[in-house]
């Protein structure tokens, strides 16, 4: 504790404030924010500079939920799952509750992840090291089973949406022999689609177009009446599900440790598990606070946990962790086991600053929540063009490439149109996020299987068997739940039709 | 004829189109194509399932699930198309005027078009809000995050 000085705390708070802006603006990711901040950290002591980067990372994992909740546009890919229930909550007049819920959940996630960093780094890393390409492939497949929860009325349309997302993610150079795929003669497509631009297109543009289409019927996104004492009420609601909270935090921390998986996968897997373990699944996707908390606890727990492989092995667990590794190396410090020996106080100071970043994020988030939620009271005629401009800037800013803006618009119009056919944007976004995880793992595992056999690589090993079992269980549960709901609906309908007419 | 607007049929046609779009390309190494092919077969298979569902429903004369367009829907569709045209023109003009003047023009035009009650206050807002948004965005993105936006090509030099 004595390693967290007032200077470190101050600069961590500055990082948190910058993270609030970075996460809120679609297109500015935590990676971009930390990278842009690195030059400024050179003027600070090492521990303060690293704490500022950590504070930004942690807070961006919360603030990306603000646009996800209010305008159904995830600030970063990690907030995609937050939008599934957060935005419907706004339509129910519970926007303030959704933001405070996301904020408190983020704090819990960060505290848990930071506690793992401070206390359990070495035992956890030994499990994470057992993950190779086949395990990552099955982890991706397991995350893909979340389609069952997102599909809406038609599981087939959900699956088709997921497949479309995976196909879009495969545009560009292949992972095997590096050949160009689905570029249609357009050189700009050789580099693949920007994930952020794609997600903005899938979520933000259809939302803007829907706002424009709804303008003749309503003036605002939703009605909003401020509720006094909302912070305490929401905290009580979140803590009323302790098992749900712990499960989400454990999932987030564990997936955060796996290099390459990161916060988006943590949030998606956690959301899927929240649905799977829930007795009443009917409210998920329609504005259930547990959907928001599952996603936010996990994606925030993954942020400090992504630092564990960085400080123990020198392998960053996420892109912002890689930037922080770069910042350390620029100062002549080598992330890895020797950092513990040479600069042990720095390692622990960083852990404590991550932990306090969670608390500061919560304080700032709950203070600003009543102000932020007023965005939904901006008339749609002004809000729609504003989001359109931010979406264009966000898609452009990520690679400074106007082609990303064209792709974003084309995807947005496509998703807007197929929504009328009953497709949900969630599975398409899910495919887009999981494609870059599943395909490289599949190709690498196929190369490994050249030396042995497909069976040995994919279907043996404890972790593979656990992940396959969980995937099968998840699919079986979706099929069973839908069958049960259909039967119950039929029974309900027949009992209503058998009911004799009479006064109500 | 009315059945051509059936949701299942339109879904099947859309999935066939996506599948056809992603069916180009091959190489000797299956590792390059295994993943997209698998996703493509899923898309195609689901498209066939929806087509079969549509044909069955037609054969047994089930009530079709039609995608209907009311007069209000058409009016909303026109609003959407006009807004998209403004954005497309903006993306073209951006390279001539420069990012920020073009953005300001796009925001003002779209806000004015979407303003139904043209009171003096609403029109004033349709000008003031875009100016504020552009100034704040300009400061954040160019001065804090150093994002290099396209500059004016028509008035360069």
Q: What is the pLDDT of residues A101-130, one digit of tens each?
A: 999 999 999 999 999 998 887 777 777 778
Residue A173 host element (H or E): strand A172-173
pLDDT tens digits for A434-448? 888 889 999 999 999
- Residue A296: pLDDT over 60: yes
**According to the model, what pLDDT value does residue B26 have?**
64
- Residue B45: pLDDT over 70: yes
Report chain A residues whose CB lies below 8 A from the CB of B18.
164, 167
The mean pLDDT of A158-166, rounded to a whole number, is: 93
- Residue A375: pLDDT over 80: no
| Ranges A76-90, A162-176, A308-322, B95-109: which has the least confidence | A308-322
In DSSP terms, A180 is beta-bridged to: A173
**According to the model, what pLDDT value does residue A500 have?**
43
Q: Do A389 and B137 touch (CB under 8 A)?
A: yes
- Residue A396: pLDDT over 70: yes
* Alpha-carbon distances, residue A303 vs A68, A237, A284, A451 (angstroms): 18, 24, 25, 36
Encoding tokens for residue A228?
Answer: 């006094």
Question: What is the complex's ipTM, to 2 decimals?
Answer: 0.93
CB of A477 within 8 A of CB of A155? Answer: no
Residues 6+ apart with CB under 8 A from B102: B90, B93, B94, B96
| Ranges A232-236, A282-286, A320-324, B21-25: which has the least confidence | B21-25
- Average predicted confidence (pLDDT) for chain A: 85
pLDDT tens digits for A35-48? 878 878 888 898 99
Q: Higher confidence at residue A209 or residue B26? A: A209
The mean pLDDT of A215-236, rounded to a whole number, is: 81
Could you give the CA distance from residue A229 to residue A235 in angstroms, rounded to a whole number? 10
Could you give the CA distance from residue A33 to residue A265 in angstroms, rounded to a whole number? 20
Q: Give the confidence band of A370 by pLDDT, cuts at 50, 70, 90.
A: confident
- Residue A499: pLDDT over 50: no
The mean pLDDT of A483-495, rounded to a whole number, is: 72
- Average predicted confidence (pLDDT) for chain B: 87
DSSP single-letter state for residue B10: H
pLDDT tens digits for A301-333? 999 998 888 888 777 777 888 888 888 888 888
A110 occurs within a structural domain? yes
A501 occurs within a structural domain? no
Interfacial B residues in 34-73 facing A (CB < 8 Å): 34-36, 39-40, 42-43, 46-47, 49-50, 67, 72
A373 occurs within a structural domain? yes
Q: Do A159 and B46 touch (CB under 8 A)?
A: yes
**According to the model, what pLDDT value does residue B69 have?**
80
Report chain B residues whose CB lies below 8 A from the CB of A174.
27, 31-33
Could you give the CA distance from residue A131 to residue A462 in angstroms, rounded to a whole number? 11
Could you give the CA distance from residue A414 to residue A435 in angstroms, rounded to a whole number? 19
Q: Higher confidence at residue A16 or residue A217? A: A16
**According to the model, what pLDDT value does residue A495 have?**
57
- Residue A13: pLDDT over 90: yes
Domain tally for chain A? 1
Q: What percent of chain A has pLDDT over 90?
A: 31
Enclosing domain of residue A365 = 6-487
* Alpha-carbon distances, residue A213 vs A218, A251, A351, A407, B66 (angstroms): 10, 39, 48, 22, 20
Could you give the CA distance from residue B115 to residue B122 in angstroms, rounded to a whole number? 7
φ, ψ for residue A315, nearest 5 deg: -105, 115
Torsion angle of C-alpha atoms A275, A277, A283, A288, degrees rounded to 10: -80
Could you give the CA distance from residue A504 to residue B74 in angstroms, rounded to a whole number? 40
The mean pLDDT of A364-378, rounded to a whole number, is: 81
**According to the model, what pLDDT value does residue A3 have?**
67
- Residue A52: pLDDT over 80: yes
CA angle A164, B92, A400 (to 5 degrees): 65
Residue among B32, B110, B137 minimizing CB distance to A176: B32
Could you give the CA distance from residue A357 to residue A13 in angstroms, rounded to a whole number? 7
Alpha-carbon Rg for chain B in angstroms:
24
Could you give the CA distance from residue A145 to residue A149 in angstroms, rounded to a whole number? 8
Q: Higher confidence at residue B146 or residue A384? A: A384
Encoding tokens for residue A169?
Answer: 């993610």
**According to the model, what pLDDT value does residue B94 have?**
87
**According to the model, what pLDDT value does residue B27 have?**
66
A223 occurs within a structural domain? yes
Q: What percent of chain B has pLDDT over 70?
A: 94
Helix (H/G/I), strand (E/B), else coil: A180: strand
A497 occurs within a structural domain? no
- Residue A503: pLDDT over 50: no
**According to the model, what pLDDT value does residue B19 have?**
94
| Ranges A330-344, A397-411, B15-29: which has the least confidence | A330-344
Could you give the CA distance from residue A99 to residue A63 in angstroms, rounded to a whole number? 9
Contact status of B135 with chain A (Cβ, < 8 Å):
no
For chains A and B, count residue pairs whose Cβ atoms are closer than 8 Å: 168
**According to the model, what pLDDT value does residue A481 have?**
75
Residue among A28, A393, A446 minimizing CB distance to B31: A446
CB of B58 within 8 A of CB of B4? Answer: no
Torsion angle of C-alpha atoms A90, A95, A97, A102, degrees rounded to 10: 90
**According to the model, what pLDDT value does residue B81 have?**
95
A355 occurs within a structural domain? yes
Q: Give the confidence band of B108 by pLDDT, cuts at 50, 70, 90.
A: very high
**According to the model, what pLDDT value does residue A488 have?**
76
Report chain A residues whose CB lies below 8 A from the CB of B15.
160
User: Which has the closest alpha carbon to A140: A460, A367, A434, A395?
Assistant: A434
Encoding tokens for residue A6?
Answer: 């007032």
CA B50 to chain A, closest CA, distance in angstroms equals 9
**According to the model, what pLDDT value does residue A27 have?**
65
Q: Is A340 left (phi over 0), alpha (psi -120 to 50) or beta?
A: alpha
Q: Give the confidence band of A502 by pLDDT, cuts at 50, 70, 90.
A: very low
Interface test with B, best of A21, A38, A147, A160 (most B CBs within 10 A): A160
CA A60 to chain B, closest CA, distance in angstroms equals 15
Could you give the CA distance from residue A489 to residue A76 in angstroms, rounded to a whole number? 38
Q: What percent of chain A has pLDDT over 70?
A: 95
Could you give the CA distance from residue A459 to residue A93 in angstroms, rounded to a whole number? 48
**According to the model, what pLDDT value does residue A501 have?**
42
**According to the model, what pLDDT value does residue A504 have?**
31
């Amino acid at each position: 504790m004595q390693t967290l000085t007032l200077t470190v705390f101050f600069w961590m708070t500055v990082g948190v404030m910058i993270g609030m802006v970075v996460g809120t603006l679609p297109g500015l990711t935590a990676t971009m924010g930390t990278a842009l901040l690195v030059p400024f950290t050179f003027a600070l002591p090492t521990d303060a500079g690293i704490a500022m980067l950590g504070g930004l990372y942690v807070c961006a994992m919360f603030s990306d939920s603000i646009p996800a909740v209010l305008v159904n546009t995830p600030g970063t890919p990690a907030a995609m799952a937050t939008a599934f229930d957060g935005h419907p909550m706004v339509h129910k007049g519970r926007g303030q509750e959704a933001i405070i819920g996301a904020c408190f959940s983020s704090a819990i996630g960060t505290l848990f992840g930071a506690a793992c960093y401070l206390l359990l780094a070495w035992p956890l890393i030994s499990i994470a090291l057992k993950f190779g390409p086949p395990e990552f492939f099955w982890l991706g497949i397991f995350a893909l089973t979340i389609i069952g929860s997102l599909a809406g009325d038609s599981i087939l349309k959900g699956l088709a949406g997921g497949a479309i997302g995976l196909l879009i993610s495969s545009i560009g150079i292949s992972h095997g022999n590096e050949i160009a795929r689905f570029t249609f003669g357009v050189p700009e497509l050789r580099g693949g689609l920007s994930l952020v631009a794609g997600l903005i297109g899938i979520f933000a543009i259809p939302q803007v177009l829907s706002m424009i289409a709804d303008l003749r019927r309503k003036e605002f996104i939703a009605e909003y009446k401020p509720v006094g004492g909302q912070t305490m009420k929401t905290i009580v609601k979140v803590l009323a599900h302790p098992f749900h909270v712990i499960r989400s935090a454990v999932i987030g921390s564990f997936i955060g440790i796996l290099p390459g998986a990161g916060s988006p996968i943590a949030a998606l897997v956690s959301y899927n598990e929240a649905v799977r373990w829930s007795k009443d699944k009917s409210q998920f996707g329609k504005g259930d606070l547990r959907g928001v908390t599952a996603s936010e606890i996990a994606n925030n727990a993954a942020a400090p946990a992504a630092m564990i492989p960085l400080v123990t092995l020198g392998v960053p667990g996420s892109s912002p962790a890689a930037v922080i590794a770069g910042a350390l190396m620029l100062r002549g410090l080598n992330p890895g086991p020797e950092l513990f020996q040479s600069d042990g106080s720095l390692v622990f100071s960083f852990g404590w600053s991550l932990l306090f970043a969670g608390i500061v994020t919560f304080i700032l988030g709950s203070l600003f929540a009543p102000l932020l939620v007023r965005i939904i009271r901006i008339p749609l005629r002004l809000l729609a063009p504003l989001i359109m401009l931010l979406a264009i800037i966000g898609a452009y800013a990520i690679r400074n490439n106007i082609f990303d803006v064209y792709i974003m618009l084309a995807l947005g119009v496509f998703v807007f149109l197929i929504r009328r056919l009953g497709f949900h944007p969630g599975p398409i976004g899910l495919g887009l996020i999981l494609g870059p995880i599943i395909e490289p793992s599949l190709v690498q595992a196929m190369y490994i299987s050249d030396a042995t056999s497909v069976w040995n690589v994919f279907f043996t090993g404890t972790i593979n068997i656990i992940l396959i079992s969980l995937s099968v269980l998840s699919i079986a549960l979706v099929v069973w739940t839908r069958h049960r709901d259909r039967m119950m609906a039929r029974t309900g309908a027949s009992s209503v039709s058998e009911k004799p007419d009479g006064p109500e | 004829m009315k059945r051509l607007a059936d949701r299942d049929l339109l879904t099947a046609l859309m999935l066939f189109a996506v599948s056809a779009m992603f069916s180009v390309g091959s190489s000797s190494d299956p590792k390059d194509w295994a993943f997209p092919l698998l996703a493509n077969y899923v898309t195609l298979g689901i498209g066939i399932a929806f087509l079969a569902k549509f044909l069955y429903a037609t054969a047994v004369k089930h009530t079709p699930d039609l995608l209907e367009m009311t007069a209000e829907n058409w009016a909303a569709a026109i609003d959407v198309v006009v807004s998209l045209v403004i954005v497309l023109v903006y993306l073209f003009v951006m390279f001539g005027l420069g990012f920020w003047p073009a953005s300001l023009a796009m925001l003002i035009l779209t806000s004015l078009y979407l303003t139904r009650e043209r009171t003096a206050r609403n029109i004033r807002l349709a000008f003031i809000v875009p100016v504020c948004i552009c100034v704040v965005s300009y400061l954040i993105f160019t001065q804090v995050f150093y994002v290099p936006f396209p500059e004016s090509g028509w008035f360069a030099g």
